[in-house]
Amino acid sequence: MVTKRPRWAPDPETYAARKPPRSDAYREVADREDHLRETGIWWTEVDTSPIVANDTDGAWRRFRANLPEQVWNAARLEGMAFTLAEVQTLLEGHTVGGHPTTDELRMLALAQAYATLRDLVGYGTFGVDKSTSDHLNRIIARHETPDAGRFRGEGTLRRNGSDHLRSRFAVLREHLAETDDARLLALIYFCAAARTRFYGAGNIRTALLMTNGILISNGCDAITIPGPRRLELDHALDTLTTTDDATELMRFLVDCAR
């Protein structure tokens, strides 16, 4: 049943005209507060157009073909001095010598995590959810912490803070569900996860895998952060940590995607 509008109710145009105009500065402050409340970070306008969206199958095939380079660059960001050829050898199931055992174990874990992401996207089972993130972190950080795959406070050292992290992740997912641009969604996820540090180890590596899962699932190529740009990444992460401002880090990731 459709009810008539009461005579005292102004039409939408009249109502809008009566509302005081919001200045750009006011809107920016309001947006910042909303972003901080929902994601733990804030940002100003970021041009996501350099991250080109094509088709999911093509993006997945390119990710699969470039897997050794993806793993190699991720390892260099962590200070692991493997060559691209050695990474290729490890991905083929063979061992390489000349490296500390801890580095080789971490490299194998990283390679398996990237292969796992490849399969999750390929089979259509990737999701922007805690179980997927936990699964990837469990692989990546398995040689670094006994609590791999668990939010801080969920594992051997249980703390009440784990409830806060689970709540933070749930609110973040709600915000992402309302984000129309999948490219911006991926950037928000990476920066929010990097700032919150859900896990005891492997946060940046896990965040990048989840980010690339979002991108590939939406037809965009995965982002590779070249090893030589580690200092730029560190600077952007430092800005994020000290100010909660993710703009620099988002723009850096977009630049890496060009």
Q: What residues are paired with 151 via a beta bridge?
A: 199
Mean pLDDT, range 160-170, rounded to an integer: 88
Only one residue has tokens 């009440």, namely 160
What's at 212, amino acid-wise?
A: N
**57-77 pLDDT, tens per residue?**
999 999 999 999 999 999 999
**86-133 pLDDT, tens per residue?**
999 888 888 888 888 888 899 999 999 999 999 999 999 999 999 999
Does the pLDDT at position 2 exceed 50? no
What's at 68, amino acid-wise?
A: P
CA distance 116 to 126: 10
CA distance 20 to 169: 35
Mean pLDDT, range 199-222, rounded to an integer: 97
Q: At what angle do helices 230-243 and 247-256 cross, to 10 degrees?
A: 160
Q: Which candidate, 187, 245, 177, 178, places its Cα nearest to that of 40?
A: 245
Choice among 76-80, 167-171, 172-176 with the minimum mean pLDDT: 76-80
pLDDT at residue 24, as a whole number: 59
Question: What percentage of the chain reaches a pLDDT higher than 90?
Answer: 74
Does the pLDDT at position 214 exceed 70? yes
Q: Which residues, including other chains, have CB under 8 Å from residue 179's CB and lie 6 or more apart? A: 185, 188
Q: Mean of the per-residue pLDDT values for the chain?
A: 88
Only one residue has tokens 């991250």, namely 51
Q: Which domains does the chain have, with CATH numbers?
A: 54-256 (1.10.3290.10)
Q: How many CA atoms, within 13 angstroms, populate the side-chain half-sphere of residue 93?
A: 0
Does the pLDDT at position 169 exceed 80? yes
**In which band, very low, low, confident or very high, does the pLDDT at 258 lie, cut at 50, 70 and 90?**
confident
pTM of the full structure: 0.87
Mean pLDDT, range 186-192, rounded to an integer: 98
CA distance 133 to 149: 8
Q: Which residues, including other chains, have CB under 8 Å from residue 234's CB and lie 6 or more apart? A: none
pLDDT at residue 8, as a whole number: 35
Q: How many CA atoms, within 13 angstroms, populate the side-chain half-sphere of residue 145?
A: 21
